[in-house]
Chain A
Amino acid sequence: MGKYILRRSFFAIPVIFSVVFLVFIAMHIAPGDPIDLLLPPDSPWVSDDGRAEYEAELRTRLGLDQPLHIQFLSYAGNLLRFDFGDSLYSKQPITNELLPRYQATLELTILAMGISILIGISVGVLSAVFANSWLDSLITFVALAGVSIPSFWLGLILMLVFALGLGWFPPSGRPASAFTAEGIRFVVLPAATLGIASAGILVRITRSQMLEVLEEDYVRTARSKGLREARVVLRHGLRSALLPIVTVLGIQFGSLLAGAVVAETVFAYPGVGRYLLQAVSNRDFPAVQSGALFVALTFVLVNLLVDMTYAFLDPRIRYS
């Protein structure tokens, strides 16, 4: 197992490199010029010819006048020294800006994942056990509703109902970490918005896997041995059904992390998704690249964890 982890970690390097490279290329070939935002917002009307000169000087200073490959090499070189560069706009080191937002997004994603697993697996099992009953139909319908609602709309509705209408939670913001007494109230609605679609998917996957597993011979055997139904379902059924569920969980974590951008925008939550979106539209090259790098590292790590869990849960799969 240790050797396997080491090997997988080693293979992550080219993955990360490719991500950095692709994002770099994408950002630089995209139309739009950051210089437009680096000059005063009303600068279109500057009658002064000095603007062109100033612009050229700024471009040189930021290295934006260099050929692409030179720019990439210098960026990659800095990365190797763990220098992520400064934002073109705030002039602050990217890491200063990114780390708090990264923490915020991780908190949001983990809580959404928690909500989604809690609801998804328990309701999914329930649905499978009572397959083809009215309860099953109801669950299926609600799960589908959760999956089919655009999350920005769901977020606004949740905000209207639970923040404005009932006043249970504050509408938006993140004054403190989600894991503090002050902060937890603020993260509930965004995490629910984010987690509901994912819960719907988990309900469906859990249900279908459970249905399959419950028909397996060994589950029948367990039943025929007179084991309690709950024990059969959970010990024998759920454990075997977990394998595909875990795969989906890994994928779900990814889509939660990505989907966070919507919840972050709606709930004015200062996360990495909103930061990246803003950076992309501002063409803040270093910010986009480093932001993508952070997210990519997380993804690779999660995938690694999923694969390890996978190997752990299904001993049939042997890795050389």
Chain B
Amino acid sequence: MTNTYITRILVLCLMLSLLFGTSVLAQDDMMGCGATGGELVVALNADLYSADAQMGGTIASVNYNMAIADLLVVMGAEGPAPWLIESWDATLDGVYTWNIRQGVTFHDGTPLNAEAVKFNIERLLNPDNEFRYGVYFRRTEEINVIDEYTLEIVNSSFDVEFMDRMINISIVSPTAVQEMGADFVNAPVGTGPFKFVSYTPGERIVLERNENYWQEGKPCVDSLTFRVIPEEAVRLIELEAGTVHVAMDMAASVEQARSAGLEMITTPQRGQQMVYFNLSRITDPLVRRAVNHALNRQAIVTNVFQDMSIVGYYPMPPSVWAYDDTIQTFPYDLDESNRLLDEAGWVMGDDGIREKDGEKLSWDMPSSNIPSRQQASEMIVGMLHEVGIQANLQVMEHLTYLNSVRGGEYDIAYWEWAGSTSDPWAYSGGLHSNYAWNPTQFGDPELDKFLDAALVSLDRDERKALYNEYFTEVMANTYLANIAFKPAVAASRPEVQGVQFLGGRLLFESTYIE
């Protein structure tokens, strides 16, 4: 069968890509505990949705999930890397074979095997549970246990997105779920480096060392306590006071934290910061190009993200392998911006706002009330004002903002996304006519083709070429304005070592207190 042949090639490709992932892990493994014992306290920026690690939720939740229940795969530098799934391969038919790591047991002694993973996926898919990650398995038709440690997932079709999504899936003990039923949430059991002790909603989660963790000698500390501290300024004070060892989401306090002798821990810059145009309203490419030239990207990077971000002119982060530096850039150039607007027929009015046919160049701009987004939006309003564009900023609750942007009830909007994957498929920019997320209200079947083809290919060169063609076209029409890419930023006390970021989430198994 030709399929087998293809599969072999694919496996080869995957092995190559896995090599890199494995090397990331090998590096992690080499990090021994410089000291053992102690009670580690970590500040989260939000409460968990649930202590059940399969519930998922915000990044704060995933930090907890990873401590108590291991993930199927983790995000490596170039796509998913092995974790509980030690290796895998896939066919273009959508058949995935997972080799489950051996010698792993849950905190209650239940061994981890293919059956346990199958149980977990079925639990996610059970509509009664209303687990949000169930949506990732919508195209799964069969889950077959091949042998003790091999699981086969049969999807209706193949795409690169599926395995990438598995970086969100935590595995919990089937025995505990079956025995405890609805009470499982009060005493969750996973395979993670830490065991559950207690959860006080909105306040703290206390975990203790898992003596039988599958990574020998880990974790280093005796206990791990997550505290919920929503205010960034307060997380900083707690760090300085020494009552918290590590705090997540410290991007606005970099300067203050450094001057207080704290250490900053960052990821590669993969979080996206960009401007969406509603393409059904802002139809003139000259105007969009003018906006691209009017944005002082460096100023936003410096002022909102304290120089932790890097400027980027198209939606692909430089740390993603499909990045290409030949795609057109739009340097900050007010003269060029003004010239383009003049050329488009928008004449500067007496009040500093441009006009055309008696109509003002005035746009609706919704913004989320999350501080960094609000601030970046404020700056963009100021920059547009410089070239005679009036943006009417309307700050709203995050969900309301999501609704407006998704529904196309805006002219221009600043958008931010944490970038929890390192595969290029996620950076396509909301322009695909069939995607659930199409805030630009745009559709071009010719452009869609590039994305569709890139999603079902495993050939990196081919995919990179497809994305290049796609973005060359997108940026030639300036369908959007990219601003920068940001990292996730955490801060730790100087005596704390070995705090790691794994794909934007914090990992504490190798963390120790000197």
A contacts B directly (C-beta below 8 A): yes
Let me know if A101 and B202 touch, CB within 8 A. yes
* Contacts A37-B399, A41-B58, A171-B243; A49 near B202 (Cβ below 8 A): no
Interface mask (A82-108 → B, CB under 8 Å = 1, otherwise 0): 000000011110000100110000000
Let me know if A270 and B201 touch, CB within 8 A. yes
Partner of B202, one of A34, A53, A172, A274: A274
Partner of A38, one of B132, B203, B241, B428: B132
CB within 8 Å of A: which B58-103 residues: 58-59
In the complex, whether B104 has a CB less than 8 A from a CB of chain A is no
Let me know if B402 and A36 touch, CB within 8 A. yes
CB within 8 Å of A: which B424-454 residues: 425-426, 428, 430, 432, 434-437, 451
Q: Measured between alpha carbons, how far is A58 from B241 in the docked complex, in Å?
A: 45
Q: Measured between alpha carbons, how far is A275 from B203 in the docked complex, in Å?
A: 11
In the complex, whether B191 has a CB less than 8 A from a CB of chain A is no
B residues in contact with A280, CB < 8 Å = 397
In the complex, whether B289 has a CB less than 8 A from a CB of chain A is no
In the complex, whether B168 has a CB less than 8 A from a CB of chain A is yes
Let me know if B138 and A45 touch, CB within 8 A. no
In the complex, whether B420 has a CB less than 8 A from a CB of chain A is yes
Let me know if A61 and B202 touch, CB within 8 A. no
A residues in contact with B418, CB < 8 Å = 41-42
Let me know if A92 and B403 touch, CB within 8 A. no
Q: Measured between alpha carbons, how far is A257 from B129 in the docked complex, in Å?
A: 35
In the complex, whether A77 has a CB less than 8 A from a CB of chain B is no
CB within 8 Å of A: which B121-146 residues: 127, 129-130, 132-136, 138-139
Partner of B417, one of A42, A48, A167: A42
Interface mask (A37-73 → B, CB under 8 Å = 1, otherwise 0): 1111111111111111110011001100000000000
Q: Measured between alpha carbons, how far is A58 from B200 in the docked complex, in Å?
A: 28
Let me know if B135 and A40 touch, CB within 8 A. yes
Q: Measured between alpha carbons, how far is A163 from B201 in the docked complex, in Å?
A: 24
In the complex, whether B238 has a CB less than 8 A from a CB of chain A is yes
Query: How many residue-residue contacts, CB under 8 A, span A and B?
Result: 171
Instruction: Report which residue of A41, A57, A159, A270 has the largest number of chain B beta carbons within 10 angstroms of its beta carbon.
Output: A41
Interface mask (B182-199 → A, CB under 8 Å = 1, otherwise 0): 000100000000000000
In the complex, whether B398 has a CB less than 8 A from a CB of chain A is yes
* Contacts A36-B403, A41-B58, A281-B399; A57 near B437 (Cβ below 8 A): no
**Interface size band for B:** 35 or more
In the complex, whether A118 has a CB less than 8 A from a CB of chain B is no
Interface of B is mostly: mixed
Let me know if B432 and A174 touch, CB within 8 A. no
Let me know if A100 and B403 touch, CB within 8 A. no
In the complex, whether A268 has a CB less than 8 A from a CB of chain B is yes
A residues in contact with B227, CB < 8 Å = 173, 268
In the complex, whether A303 has a CB less than 8 A from a CB of chain B is no
CB within 8 Å of B: which A12-53 residues: 30-34, 36-53
Let me know if A40 and B168 touch, CB within 8 A. yes
Rounded to whole Å, the gap between the CB of A67 and the closest CB of chain B is 20
What are the 10 closest A-B residue pairs judged by CB atoms, nearest first?
Answer: A270-B202, A50-B138, A44-B437, A32-B399, A270-B203, A32-B400, A268-B229, A51-B436, A90-B50, A31-B400
The 10 sampled A-B contact pairs (Cβ below 8 Å) are A31-B403, A48-B139, A54-B134, A61-B130, A89-B57, A90-B185, A270-B201, A270-B228, A280-B397, A283-B399
Extra inter-chain contacts (13) besides given A51-B436, A91-B50, CB under 8 Å:
A31-B396, A40-B168, A41-B56, A44-B406, A44-B430, A45-B437, A46-B437, A61-B130, A90-B49, A90-B185, A90-B201, A92-B50, A100-B200
